[in-house]
Amino acid sequence: MRLQGVQCLDCRAKFLPARTVCLSCKSRSLEKVFFNATGTVISWTQVAQPPSGFPPGQSFYLALVQLDEGPKVLAQLADQLESPIKEMRVKVVIRRLTHGELEQPILYGFKFQEIL
């Protein structure tokens, strides 16, 4: 499993999601790259009342993760039953993100799962 982002051809800075202008050196030369989708949890919280559009009544953990190969990413933790621990090792998995509200498409994306 890999995550696609961009890398600056001039200063090698990495970004996810993809962007047009490098935040470090302002270059426009950004190419698509894949990051190995493993990382470490830096911080997290628990959301007991999901915003509308997310499965109601299903509490989830939201975490800020430092990918091994570069940028930090914010995403949910999948299948996380207990409180996460700082510096917990995680890997990316594909999951459905939203519940599907009226007139809205169902969004699929990624979450992070503890590497056991």
Partner 1 sequence: MRNVYVHGTGTVPVGEHWESSLLDLATKAALIALDSSESFEVGACVVGNMLSGIINHQENLGAIVADALGLEQVEAVKIEAACASGTAALRAGYLRVASGLVDNVLVVGAEKMSDIPAPSVIKTLSTAAPFHAEVIHGASFVSLNAILTQMYLRHYNLSQDCLGIFARQAHKNGTRSPHAMFQKEITVDQYKSSPIVCPPVRLLDCPPTCDGAAAIVLSSNKPKSTPIKLAAVEGANDWVALADRENPLQFRAAQSSARKAFKAAKLTQKDIDLFELHDAFPVLAALALESLEMAPPGNAWKEAEKGTFSLNGKLPIQTMGGLKSRGHPVGATGVYQAVEAVLQLRGEAGAAQVKEPKVALTQTFAGLAASVYSAIFQKEA
CB of 25 to partner 1, least distance (A): 14
The answer to whether the peptide bond before residue 17 is cis (omega within 30 degrees of 0) is yes
For residues 35 and 18, the answer to whether their CB atoms sit within 8 Å is: no
DSSP for residue 51: P
Integer Rg of the chain from CA: 16
Q: Which member of 20, 31, 32, 51 binds partner 1 (CB under 8 A)?
A: 51
- Which residues partner with 114 through β-bridges? 90
CA distance 104 to 96: 14
If one asks whether residue 76 binds partner 1 (CB under 8 A), the answer comes out as yes
Q: What residues from 11 to 40 belong to the interface with partner 1 (CB under 8 A)?
A: 15-17, 23
For residues 52 and 100, the answer to whether their CB atoms sit within 8 Å is: no
Q: Which member of 75, 88, 90, 92 binds partner 1 (CB under 8 A)?
A: 75
Q: Which member of 62, 89, 93, 113 binds partner 1 (CB under 8 A)?
A: 62
CB of 31 to partner 1, least distance (A): 19
Binding site for partner 1 (CB under 8 A): 15-17, 23, 42-54, 60, 62-64, 71-76, 86, 97-98, 107, 109
